[in-house]
Amino acid sequence: MHIIDRRPDPGGKSLANRQRFMRRARALVKQAVREASGSRKIREIDGGGAVTIPADGVHEPSFHAGRDGGMRDYVLPGNKKFVSGDRIERPKQGGGSGSEGSADGEGEDNFRFVLSRDEFLDLFLEDLELPNLAKRQVMGDAIEKRHPAGFKTSGPPSSLSVGRTLRRSLSRRIALKRPNPAELEAMRRELDELETAGGDASRIAALKAEIERQERRAKVIPFIDPVDLRYRRIEVTPEPIARAAMFCLMDVSASMDEHMKDLAKRFFSLLYLFLTRRYKQVEIVFIRHTHEAKEVDEETFFHSRESGGTVISSALIEMARIAKERYPADQWNIYAAQASDGDNLSSDNARSLAILRETILPMAQYYAYLQVGRGDYDREDGVFARQETTLWRAYQELIRPNLPMAMRKVNDRRDIYPVFRELFERRDEAAEAR
Amino acid sequence: MARARKTTPIAAPAAPMTGEPLFTGRDWDFGLLDRVYGAIQEIAESELKLDIYPNQIEVITSEQMLDAYASTGMPLFYKHWSFGKHFVRNETLYRKGWQGLAYEIVINSSPCIVYIMEENSATMQTLVLAHAAFGHNHFFKNNYCFKQWTDATSILDYLAFAKKFVASCEDRYGQENVEQILDAAHALMSHGVHRYPGKHALDLRSEQRRQEERQAFAEQHFSDLWRTLPKTASRKKRDGEDERRRQMLGLPEENILYFLEKNAPRLAGWQRELIRIVRQIAQYFYPQRQTKVMNEGCATFTHYRLMSRLHERGKITDGSFLEFLHSHTSVVFQPEYDDQRYSGINPYALGFAMMEDIERIALNPTPEDRAFFPDFAGCGDGYGVLRDAWANYRDESFILQFLSPAVIRKQKLFRLVDDSEDPEIVVASIHDERGYKAVRQSLSRQFDVGRQDPDIQVADVDLAGDRKLILHHNVVDGITLDGKDAAKVLHHLANLWGYDVKLLEIEEGETIAAHDGSPSRAFR
């Protein structure tokens, strides 16, 4: 009997099969992910978790008997009151069929399983791309990278280096003069020949003694000795990575209601998720503003209310200041997303544009402006096109190709994800530029 | 396979040291496993006279157990999405706490590989060793189904070959093309076994050699010139067709995969080899399907006996024994038919009850037993009768031969007849004098794999016309196929065959249903 400890073996043996399954069910899973994310809270969105796909898509068919018809005959345990000849009403079909199922429970209509966080996000953010990602991959704090680094004398069986072990075994065997089988065989043959030919008796005796000596040697010196064992060594080294700073700018003046803030929050959350997928380190700066801007923590950012007018340039100045102090553009990838209802003090528009054009856009990788509206607004008075807000009109003047800026309007929660996709969709011209 | 193994040599069986428990707490280490194994081995060999393959005990984590689940317990298997599907399913059930994991997995190979989980307590490890390393192991080595159909010494090498071959095909022909063949072959897996022994014994090692030789030959003799030769006249082609038709005279053939592997006109060599691999693996697992009750019964009976002896000898404490009994009783629990937990007959319970009863009949029979089992009632050698049963029966014949009235009464078995033309279900027989034999016969049929799988055969090929493949399903008792699934399988079948297929369901010479399938696209 052998006992083998398999616990140190590398896990994840099923990973390849799992990936094959995911590829197979990709379209279904993608659909399910989109649906699941709709019903989820924004903070839970990156948690992975269970999704349900229709079992039909991944069904494995086989020839087997149908459920209905024919004459069936079966034995059951636990008779209580029946005697032979009793007649029992047939249990109702239809409702009962679900519980019967096949042996492994695949009779159910749905196949439910858990996605890992990465799988979930991969599907969720598929086909999206960060604009200008390749432009500035700058050095930041370290991540760990594993790479082979020589050999060591102990380790899990799976990391045994067979080649290296045998090489050491060979040199040890040569050094200790372990007889090799061919030599032994040659000596035996010679002995045989001498014996059959009736050769020199002393020579025969000497040969016999030598063979015996060599055979003992072969036994004493093992083919592989524990000292020969060598295992592959993996070293972990830090590796520089790219990092990003994300600025969330939001108007919190009284005109922004809870619904609008919720929309903005959802958008920011998606952006954050997306950035964490691409950068190992993502810093978030929350700047809220009325007529004056302030950096705050997340809680305050989303939940406390302030009153005052709306001066967007205040937030832009604050952002430029923080970026200059803490996130110099040669060391950080800077992304900014601004959410507002579009009501700006009209005298401020020119100033905002100037700051954007001269300070922020040159240092930012991407600047997204999201104009949030009331859910019921646009849809009902579709006929009367709503007048564009002052800020929207101002920004529109700014927009031109090759400028890392985009703007969209969102009125309803369900628009967030499509709008987000639209903003970050992989573009062909971007591919050409690279 | 050059895998390093941390091995622990077995200690010589310890001298009986009555009254000294092997362990007291729940913790265990490798030394303890050794001593426990030695103690079990001593009883298994001297008292039960078990004959086993050498054992290889592998300690794994629960994560690794989940991995093992996905590939039907085998330590290595080719890659396919369906294993991934089972993996995510089991993982979900396990993580949500809806399903526990098995304490062990045992593989019919030589050496016999027994996976045990590190989470098990010392008592559970003892139980698992007795159950798998001795019970299942003995059954694998001695039962005729396994002897006839499986090659325990080379299954692992064959699986390694299969894995490598599938991977190389994926590299060469693309994952999707390989998947298409495997999907189709998997759908036909239950109809890819030989049910009757052929001319020569199975030898998986030569299988592997055969494939390698064939490939080497093809590579050696490859000459690009052949491709440039002008196509030969149609006459020669007709010769080939004739030959092919002669080949097909082997019909009817119930091993559909075998038929396709040999005769499907449009498959390439590697595609045939893939089908062959699926077929060989189906054949390897076939005995396990035929001997569920016996295999589990044998293992359960063995562990129960070994654990009781260990306890009697004072090798395990009363506390451990109670822990064992708790687990044992839940294993052999048979919910009654109207219980919510009822999900069919529990093979552990049935097998264990029957085997206990066989021993009782051999040692201490009632007049009724003597009437039913004149051959061995009161013969005095319970283990001998059991060993004979373990070696020479499968579920169907075992139940037909050994299910005693006592067990039928104990489990209160009764037989229903459900005729779709009758508005009501009839209780045909119950556990009484008149019913024993009918119940026994019906239960035996219920465990007959030959009846569980519909009897489908390749009947004919229309070679002169559109090459349509005709299959027949011999309908028994008016039970037809599940139409939706049948259509899907036929689609797979048509993909392998390359042309249309038709399945006729025939009862007493009359066609009562028909299904068709067409290939989605021809293979390259």
**A77, B336: Cβ pair inside 8 Å?**
yes
- Amino acid (1-letter code) at residue B75: P
Which segment of A91-100, B74-83, B340-349, B380-389 scores lowest on mean pLDDT?
A91-100
**pLDDT surpasses 50 at A383:** no
Mean pLDDT in chain B?
84
Taking a contact as any Cβ pair under 8 Å apart, which residues of chain A between 81 and 100 contact chain B? 82-90
Q: What pLDDT does B171 receive?
A: 92
Give residue B506's Cα distance to chain centre.
Answer: 29
Q: Which residue in B443, B293, B297 sits closest to A77, CA to CA?
A: B443
Per-residue pLDDT at B484 exceeds 70: yes
Token pair listed for B132: 């798998």
Write the pLDDT tens digit of every residue in A151-179.
988 888 888 999 999 999 999 998 988 88
Do you know the residue count of chain A?
A: 434
Tell me which amino acid residue B501 is: V
Say yes or no for a CB contact (<8 Å) between B89 and A6: no
What are the tokens at B140? 């694998």
Burial of A266 (0-12, 13-18, 19+ CB in 10 A): buried
Helices B382-392 and B292-312: angle between axes, nearest 10 degrees: 150
Q: What is the mean pLDDT of residues A216-237?
A: 87
Q: Is the pLDDT of residue B330 over 70?
A: yes
Answer yes or no: is pLDDT of A391 > 60. yes
Q: Which residues are CB-contacts of B469 (< 8 A; sequence separation ≥ 6)?
A: B458, B460, B461, B493, B494, B497, B499, B500, B501, B502
Q: Which of B414, B418, B473 to mutate to test the interface with A (most CBs of A within 10 A)?
A: B414
Per-residue pLDDT tens over the stretch B281-327? 998 889 988 999 999 999 999 999 999 999 999 899 999 999 999 99
Residue keyed to tokens 């007849």:
B417
Assign A102 a pLDDT band (cuts: 50, 70, 90): very low
Q: What is the CATH number of domain A241-433?
A: 3.40.50.410
Please give the residue that has the higher pLDDT: either B399 or A207: B399
Average pLDDT (A69-74) is: 84
Asked if A203 contacts A194 with a C-beta cutoff of 8 angstroms, the reply is yes
Distances (CA, A) of B193 to B142, B213, B287, B398, B504: 21, 25, 10, 22, 21
Residue A308 has pLDDT above 90, yes or no: no
Query: Of the candidates B113, B114, B92, B112, which has an alpha carbon nearest to the alpha carbon of residue B102?
Result: B114
Report how far residue B473's alpha carbon sits from residue B481's, in angstroms, rounded to the nearest whole number. 9
Question: Is residue B221 very low, low, confident or very high in pLDDT (cuts 50, 70, 90)?
Answer: confident
Chain B contact set for A16 (CB, 8 A)? 79, 84
More confident residue, B498 or A420: B498
Number of C-beta neighbours around residue A347 at 10 A: 8
Q: Is B73 helix (H, G, I), strand (E, B) or coil?
A: coil
Domain ranges within chain B, ordered by starting residue:
30-143+291-318, 339-451, 454-517
Q: A44 pLDDT band (50/70/90 cuts)?
A: low
Q: How does residue B359 score in pLDDT terms, banded at 50, 70 and 90?
A: very high
Structure token pair of residue A412: 């309803």
Give residues 35 to 74 of B whose Cβ lies within 8 Å of A: 37, 41, 54-61, 63-64, 66-67, 70-71
Question: Average pLDDT of B442-452?
Answer: 89
* pLDDT band at residue A96 under the 50/70/90 scheme: very low
A324: closest CA among A316, B159, A103? A316
Distance CA A118, CA A277 (A): 9
Cβ-proximal residues to B315 (8 Å cutoff; 6+ apart), any chain:
B20, B21, B22, B39
Locate all alpha helices (DSSP H) within B44-193, ordered by sequence. Answer: 62-70, 81-95, 122-128, 137-142, 144-149, 155-173, 175-187
Which residue in the set A2, A18, A88 is minimally distant from B5, CB to CB? A2
Q: What percentage of chain A carries pLDDT values higher than 90?
A: 4
- Measured between beta carbons, the chain A residues lying within 8 angstroms of B188 are 62-63
Query: Collapsing DSSP states into helix, strand and coil, what is residue A115?
Result: strand
Measured in angstroms, the CA of B411 and the nearest CA of chain A are apart by 6
Q: Which among A43, A233, A33 has a CA at the least distance from the CA of A148?
A: A233
Which tokens is B156 given?
């692992």
- Under 8 Å between Cβ of A364 and A372: no
Distance, CA of A298 to CA of A278 (rounded, Å)? 22
Q: Residue B461: its pLDDT value, please?
A: 81
Q: Find out whether A423 and A408 touch, Cβ atoms under 8 Å.
A: yes
Is beta strand A71-76 parallel, antiparallel or unpaired with respect to B414-419? antiparallel
Within 10 angstroms of residue B432's Cβ, the number of other Cβ atoms is: 15
Q: What is the mean pLDDT of chain A?
A: 77
- CB contact under 8 Å between B418 and A72, yes or no, is yes
Most confident region among A403-407, A420-424, B189-193, B355-359 by mean pLDDT: B355-359
Kindly report, residue by residue over A115-132, the tens digit of the pLDDT.
Answer: 777 777 777 776 666 665
pLDDT in tens, A329-374: 777 788 888 888 877 777 888 888 888 888 888 888 888 888 887 7
Question: Per-residue pLDDT averaged across B494-522, rounded?
Answer: 86
Highest mean pLDDT among A198-212, B160-174, B414-428 belongs to B160-174
* CB proximity under 8 Å: B 431-450 to A: 431-432, 434-435, 439, 442-443, 445-446
Which residues in chain B are closer than 8 Å to A50, comparing Cβ atoms? 92
Taking only the tens place, the pLDDT of each residue in A182-197 is: 888 988 888 888 888 8
Q: Could you tell me the CA-to-CA distances from A98 to A69, A95, A110, A368, B90 in Å, in that order?
A: 17, 7, 11, 50, 20
Q: In this complex, do B61 and A11 lie within 8 Å of one another by their Cβ atoms?
A: yes
pLDDT at A88 over 90: no
pLDDT of residue B25: 83
Q: What is the reported pLDDT for A433?
A: 41
Q: Residue-wise over B200-214: b if at least 16 C-beta within 10 A, else e?
A: eebebeebbeebeee
Question: What is the spatial distance between Cα B69 and Cα B90, in angstroms, rounded to a whole number?
Answer: 8
Rounded distance between C-alpha atoms, residue A334 and residue A327, angstroms:
8
A11 touches B: beta carbon within 8 Å: yes
Read off the pLDDT of residues A230-287 as tens digits, 9 standing for 90 and up.
999 888 876 655 677 888 888 887 777 777 877 887 788 777 777 777 676 778 888 8
Backbone angles phi, psi at B383, to 5 degrees: -65, -35
- Assess B339–A contact: CB distance below 8 Å, yes or no: yes
Would you list the domain boundaries of chain A?
Answer: 14-58+109-126, 157-232, 241-433
Angstrom distance (rounded) from CA B115 to CA B132: 9
User: In the A/B pair of chains, how many CB contacts fall below 8 A?
Assistant: 275
Confidence grade of residue B169 (pLDDT, cut at 50, 70, 90) = very high
B7 pLDDT more than 50: no
